[in-house]
Amino acid sequence: MKILQTLGSTITRTVEQLVEKNHRAAMVNRIRLVIKNESESSTRLYEELGRYYFDHLRDPENKETERLCGSIEEHEARIHRAFGKMAEVAEEARAAKEAAAGEAPGCEACGEGYSCGDCSSCSGCADGERLAGPSAPLPAEPAFYGAQKGEEGGEAADDE
């Protein structure tokens, strides 16, 4: 009988130790998650502060910050050029696809063409039928790009 009591108490202690170990591991994981979330939140706030400084408090006489602001402007210019190039490539692909299919761009009713690919209606049709526009819309700059510059409709727009 004594053997069963010893075995039972050993099993009980082992289970209690495992429960305690799992509890500690869960607590450590929760704390790590809190640290990660707070760190990401802090990073976002630093970014907002930096955007505000860049847009409103920029000091041309401070060489260090002006160097950083100049770098930001260079990167934004590269991003803008990349979006333009991406639009060109998409337009070339659309034109090549139409040429391969033997389609002539223009109104299906009267055949009047368009030059920009963005026309919404044909002036040559009496009833104003829509043009056969591009098969896929051209890529646009993402919404966040305008928000970075504090443009209208962006998150970083002035609320003052």
Which sign does the torsion angle of CA 127, 128, 130, 132 carry?
A: positive
Q: What confidence score (pLDDT) does residue 110 get?
A: 55
What are the backbone dihedrals phi and psi of residue 88, each rounded to the nearest 5 degrees, phi first? -60, -45
Give residue limits of the domains in the chain.
1-57, 61-99
Q: What is the pTM of this model?
A: 0.46
What are the backbone dihedrals phi and psi of residue 106, each rounded to the nearest 5 degrees, phi first? 150, -175
The arithmetic mean of pLDDT across residues 81-105, rounded, is 85
pLDDT over 90, % of the chain: 54
The rounded distance, in Å, linking the Cα atoms of 92 and 102 is 15
